[in-house]
Amino acid sequence: MADTAESHADLIAAEDVLLFVNAAITATGQREFRSSAYEQQLSLAFLHEYVRVNYRPVYAAALALDINDHNAARIVEQLLRTAGEASEGQKRAEGRLIAARLAVLPPQRVYRLFGALRTAKVNNRRTRAILRDWLAARPDLGHDAVKYRSGLKTAVRHSHLPLREGEFGDGEFGDFLFRPGKRVRYAHAHLDAYRRAHYEQEAIYELPFTVAEGFAAKHGLPRGVFLDRIAPRMTRLERLRTQRSGTLTELGGMPLTRLALYVLSLTRDERSARRAELTGALRAAALRAAGPYAGTWGRVAAVLDDSYSSYGSGVKRRRPLAVALGSHFLLEALAGSYRAHWTSGAADSLLVRPWGPSPLGTRILDALEDAPERLVIVSDGWDNAPPGLAGEVLRVWRTILDRDRRTSVVHVNPVYDADGFDVRRLAPSVPTAGIRDAEDLPALVEIAQFAEGRTGLPELQAYLDRRTERFLDRHREEAQ
């Protein structure tokens, strides 16, 4: 009897953890199609508090998973704010995970995190050491001093880090940040270009684009002239944001989901005119994401949601549809043979748009007709044409027609449901995983096995331990 109770408790714990992982992958606290930003933030805050208090080691281990940057930064902040709740061994493990995750976070988000820690008055020795080591590993602190000046000042002031000779460059960084009028010139090129850009237009083109943009407006430079001359200093994404006609070279190295977002930002006429270029770029990105698994998934069918709700919201515009489009090309690369079924019935994947209802049940029936080895459903889980048909189809398929599980069915959902504290599911018999980026799909299909309700916390913990070990090993290799 005790073993049964313990086993049941493990299953509940595993469900709690998976609930949080799904939220940490999909939720960003921003408005979604069916919930406000406030509802998203309130729901997410509860989940972070609940998992941190009840499963702290697992909470920290989530930093090694493919969670989004918003939740990674939030986990780091919560771990540092509640250091008193952790044992010495937990602190050491958390410190390694925090350092590894900060190394891959965008610098602007890390500086924002340090600002949040200052507001919360978190300034213990471990926090100062983490901040110092992260700054010491930055490739060019002068670049940060110019581009993230406010964030760097906040971090240095809050943690009392010295900027004297031999520490983080030399004393000129301290002068630039806190005594800007003291020096008539700086040895570091970025610092001196920033000083000269106040009165010399040519110096603008020596600065990072986001900084140069402000100076260009101050000097009244024509936008077109400025963009042409600053182009060599722009990142690929900055060029795509400012010029709709991205070149094939610019598209070539983009991550799959970001590329899908760019494609969907174009009009349907533009997509048609650039069909060969855009399709080639999407397939190349998908092959990079598939890696060694390309062509190994056998016969695959996909049900892809391009209903009106796939528009997302004003702050996450077309994000769910971009995940579906990216997943389409990734599944094509992973499969031996592949067939896509869009909810709208669209036959041309490059021209999909958010439109119409969500007849998921009908499309799942269409997909299962071919008896694929794998069925992957990419949808927000709202089945409304008619409501509930998808769940009933999947129930009958799993319990009556395919008891031997000849077809593996997985549902990945790019939208967090604030009311349910999870991503919305289609059927209890089908594992569901949250997804943020299409390129994470192979890993999420792996973790979805734990969502079927037959695997307890020890198995899930072993999986997290393996992911953590690989994550830390990769960080050590890159640091050497």
Q: What is the pLDDT along the chain (480 residues), one digit of tens a residue?
A: 445 544 657 667 778 888 899 999 999 999 999 899 999 999 999 999 999 999 999 999 999 998 999 999 999 999 999 999 999 999 999 999 999 999 999 999 999 999 999 999 998 888 999 998 999 898 888 899 999 999 999 988 887 776 654 444 457 888 888 888 788 889 899 999 999 999 999 999 999 999 999 999 999 999 989 998 998 888 877 877 776 555 555 677 789 999 999 999 999 999 999 999 999 999 999 999 999 999 999 999 999 999 999 999 988 999 999 999 999 999 999 999 999 999 999 999 999 999 999 999 999 999 999 899 999 999 999 988 888 899 999 999 988 888 888 999 999 999 999 998 899 999 888 889 999 999 999 888 877 777 665 556 777 788 888 889 999 998 888 776
Question: Does residue 475 lie within any of the structural domains?
Answer: no
Question: Does residue 321 lie within any of the structural domains?
Answer: yes
Closest CA to 99 of 66, 76, 123: 76
| Residue 387 DSSP one-character state | B
Q: Which residues contact 442 (CB under 8 A, 6 or more apart)?
A: 289, 290, 293, 330, 334
Q: What is the pLDDT of residue 166?
A: 45
Question: Does residue 477 lie within any of the structural domains?
Answer: no
| Co-location of 167 and 96 in the same domain | yes
Question: Does residue 154 lie within any of the structural domains?
Answer: yes
**Positive or negative: CA dihedral 298, 398, 417, 77:** negative
Side-by-side strand order, sheet with 374-378: 337-342, 299-304, 374-378, 408-413, 432-434
Q: How far apart are CA 436 and CA 22, in angstroms?
A: 9
Report, in angstroms and rounded to the nearest whole number, the Rg of the chain calculated over CA atoms.
25
| Co-location of 262 and 210 in the same domain | no
Q: What is the pLDDT of residue 181?
A: 79
Q: How far apart are CA 131 and CA 311, in angstroms?
A: 38
| Co-location of 191 and 289 in the same domain | no
Match 């048609």 to its residue by tokens: 272
| Co-location of 184 and 111 in the same domain | yes
Q: What is the CATH number of the domain that holds 265?
A: 3.40.50
CA distances from 174 to 170, 181, 195, 197, 358 (A): 8, 12, 14, 20, 57
As for how many domains the chain has, the answer is: 2
Residues 468, 476 contacting (CB under 8 angstroms): no
Q: Which residues contact 246 (CB under 8 A, 6 or more apart)?
A: 239, 240, 262
| Co-location of 257 and 340 in the same domain | yes
| Co-location of 94 and 166 in the same domain | yes
Q: Tokens in use for 146?
A: 């110019």
Q: How far apart are CA 444 and CA 434, in angstroms?
A: 8
Q: Which residues contact 10 (CB under 8 A, 6 or more apart)?
A: 456, 457, 458
Q: Which amino acid is at 151?
A: G
Q: Which residues contact 182 (CB under 8 A, 6 or more apart)?
A: 175
Q: Tokens in use for 102?
A: 């900060």
| Co-location of 144 and 277 in the same domain | no
Question: Does residue 244 lie within any of the structural domains?
Answer: no
Question: Does residue 34 lie within any of the structural domains?
Answer: yes
Q: Tokens in use for 459?
A: 């198995």
CA angle 76, 128, 46 (to 5 degrees): 25
Residues 377, 410 contacting (CB under 8 angstroms): yes
The beta strands (E) that lie in 388-458 are given as 408-413, 416-417, 422-423, 432-434
N-terminal to C-terminal alpha carbon distance within the chain: 52
Question: Does residue 25 lie within any of the structural domains?
Answer: yes
| Co-location of 210 and 271 in the same domain | no
Match 């400025």 to its residue by tokens: 226
Q: How many CB atoms lie within 10 A of CB 357?
A: 15
Question: Does residue 183 lie within any of the structural domains?
Answer: yes
This prediction's pTM: 0.88
| Co-location of 210 and 278 in the same domain | no
Question: 401 lies in which domain range?
Answer: 249-455
| Co-location of 189 and 266 in the same domain | no
CA distances from 327 to 20, 283, 289, 317, 330 (A): 23, 11, 10, 17, 5
| Co-location of 172 and 284 in the same domain | no
| Co-location of 297 and 400 in the same domain | yes
Residues 302, 376 contacting (CB under 8 angstroms): yes
Closest CA to 283 of 350, 237, 330, 249: 330
The beta strands (E) that lie in 288-373 are given as 299-304, 337-342
Q: How far apart are CA 69 and CA 92, in angstroms?
A: 22
Q: What is the pLDDT of residue 180?
A: 83
